Amino acid sequence: MKAKFAKESYTEMNELVLPNDTNTFGNLMGGRLLYWMDICSAMAAQKHCNNVVVTASVDNVSFNRPVKLGEVVTIKAQVTRAFNTSLEVRLEVFAQNLPKGTKDKSNEAYYTFVALDEEGKPKAIPALVAESEQEIKLYDEAMERRELRLILAGKIKPQHATGIKKLLKRLEQKGD
């Protein structure tokens, strides 16, 4: 199976926030944004796999800025790493106020997908080739994020997670 470049999975999606998408405060409902993020990240995953995928997990999603009625949501997604049958997709979400000419980052998240065959069983997927400095950084850190997900899901014990030590060290350095 031929490896694929990370940039081949790049997907960008735009949505206009309409009244039916908002809560009583005129802000985009979090569930609607998660729905759009799932669609965009699934498209990126399917571009990489050339296959049907299902969502396996969603990492922490923090809502850094409310998205208002009438703003345009831009979601950018790209595969950061492919494992055997699963892959990680990074998303960035921006809110754009067209009349004011502003564009602010509102969210970032990682989604994990599993490719499935015609019988619904996990299927092997192509390896990922990271080229840019940012792609290589995200690729290297993806193993740490994966191990953390597996620990939290109870699938591996912390002492068996080799990459998690790097993650904890990096987090400690950020806290200093």
The rounded average pLDDT for each run of 10 residues, N- to C-terminus, in the chain (176 residues) is: 96 98 97 97 98 93 92 98 96 97 95 96 97 96 86 76 72 75
- CA triplet 103, 76, 167: central angle to 5 degrees? 105
Three-class DSSP category at 165: helix
pLDDT at 62: 82
pLDDT at 157: 78
pLDDT at 176: 62
Give the domain 4-130 fold: Thiol Ester Dehydrase; Chain A (3.10.129)
Which are the contacts of 153, defined by CB distance < 8 A and separation ≥ 6?
Answer: 57
Domain ranges in the chain are: 4-130
Distance CA 63, CA 24 (A): 17
Whole-structure pTM value:
0.88
Beta bridge partners of 108: 92
- CA triplet 168, 130, 112: central angle to 5 degrees? 60
Nearest to 7 by CA among 171, 109, 132: 132
